[in-house]
Amino acid sequence: MGVDPHPGLLAQWGLEDTAASLEYFAFTVLDACGDVSAALKPQVALFERHGSAGLAVLEKFQAKAAQQDVLVVADAKRGDIGSTMAAYADAWLGEASPLATDSVTLSPYLGFESLRPALDLASKNQRGTFVLALTSNPEGRSVQHIGGPEKSVAGSIVQAAQRENESSAWQNMGPCGLVIGATVGQALSKLNIDLSTFNGPILSPGYGAQGASAEDLYRIFEGIERQVLVNSSRGVLSAGPHRSSLRDAAQRAAEELDSASR
Ligand SMILES: O=C(O)c1cc(=O)[nH]c(=O)n1[C@@H]1O[C@H](COP(=O)(O)O)[C@@H](O)[C@H]1O
């Protein structure tokens, strides 16, 4: 479940657009839905827009989630040249940083290998990464589909993530996950991307507010459903601010996903 404190959602919850409201929002989601969600995914930009006060809320939120054994995916979409990437890796995946958490989203569009410091640190510190492959936004195609079925950009990211996990010493799934949106339709087959041997987790946003359905998810990820972490943010968060309504909305989404599988 996403923790996306958009200004519009804060207003809908009867809150002002302040850092104090972020704290109320994020902690309400954690209390109401932490134990009925596989993981919570705070959207970092929505905390950053409140500057240091917003980031302080994010740190507190992540610390409390860790105390409650709730897994966190920090949606920071980081990606930079290697030397700078090492600093982003320390921030989100290091041992000393107050922002470090279970996993972080990364953008490979400065080259997959530019992510090396984060990939290595995640593996060393038993944390995870989710690398953008096929994103849920329609504009993503203009970059990610380049190369077509023979040699697509997205396909090369999937292959690189696969190699990364094959070379990892982790048992079962490796530390390098992928982001593949629930709205991508037939893109995997059109681009000849085969996920059947992919040995990492897949984060799939786009379900709910962006229009993808539970059935769409089962069509896209047939055979590898158990690796997919579906995200819904606005679709559930708009049920707030009451804890019971939020929890009901999260559980309804989980049931919808579950029943579509049968
Ligand atoms: O990495 C992400 O989380 C992400 C990747 C992507 O391809 N599409 C996408 O929507 N997201 C994020 O997933 C969330 C989707 O939010 P809703 O559309 O409100 O469910 C937002 O926080 C997005 O930033």
Residue 169, pLDDT score: 86
Q: What average pLDDT score do residues 227-234 get?
A: 98
Does residue 144 have its Cβ closer than 6 Å to ligand 1?
Answer: no
Q: How far apart are CA 151 and CA 155, in angstroms?
A: 7
Give, for ligand 1, the residue of 25, 44, 75 to mutate: max count of ligand atoms closer than 8 Å to Cβ.
75
- As a whole number, the mean pLDDT across the chain is 97
Q: How far apart are CA 222 and CA 28, in angstroms?
A: 34
Known catalytic residue at 77: yes
Does residue 209 have its Cβ closer than 6 Å to ligand 1?
Answer: yes
Q: What percent of the chain shows pLDDT beyond 90?
A: 97
Q: How far apart are CA 86 and CA 81, in angstroms?
A: 9
Does residue 2 have its Cβ closer than 6 Å to ligand 1?
Answer: yes
Does residue 210 have its Cβ closer than 6 Å to ligand 1?
Answer: yes
**ipTM here:** 0.99
Does residue 216 have its Cβ closer than 6 Å to ligand 1?
Answer: no
Residue 61: name the closest of 115, 5, 17 by CA: 5
Residue 170, pLDDT score: 86
Give, for ligand 1, the residue of 1, 37, 40, 43 to mutate: max count of ligand atoms closer than 8 Å to Cβ.
43
Helix (H, G, I), strand (E, B) or coil at 138: helix
Q: How far apart are CA 187 and CA 203, in angstroms?
A: 16
CA of 232 to the centre of ligand 1 (A): 8
Q: How far apart are CA 136 and CA 132, in angstroms?
A: 10
Residue 262, pLDDT score: 56
Per-residue pLDDT reduced to its tens digit, 198-215:
999 999 999 999 999 999
| Confidence tier at 232 by pLDDT (50, 70, 90) | very high
Domains of the chain: residue spans and CATH: 1-71+242-262 (no CATH), 74-231 (3.20.20.70)
Crossing angle of helices 82-93 and 116-124, rounded to 10°: 30
Q: Which residue of the set 77, 124, 151, 190 is catalytic? A: 77
Q: How far apart are CA 80 and CA 75, in angstroms?
A: 16
| Confidence tier at 57 by pLDDT (50, 70, 90) | very high
Residue 177 burial by Cβ neighbours in a 10 Å radius (0-12, 13-18, 19+): buried
Q: What is the pTM of this model?
A: 0.98
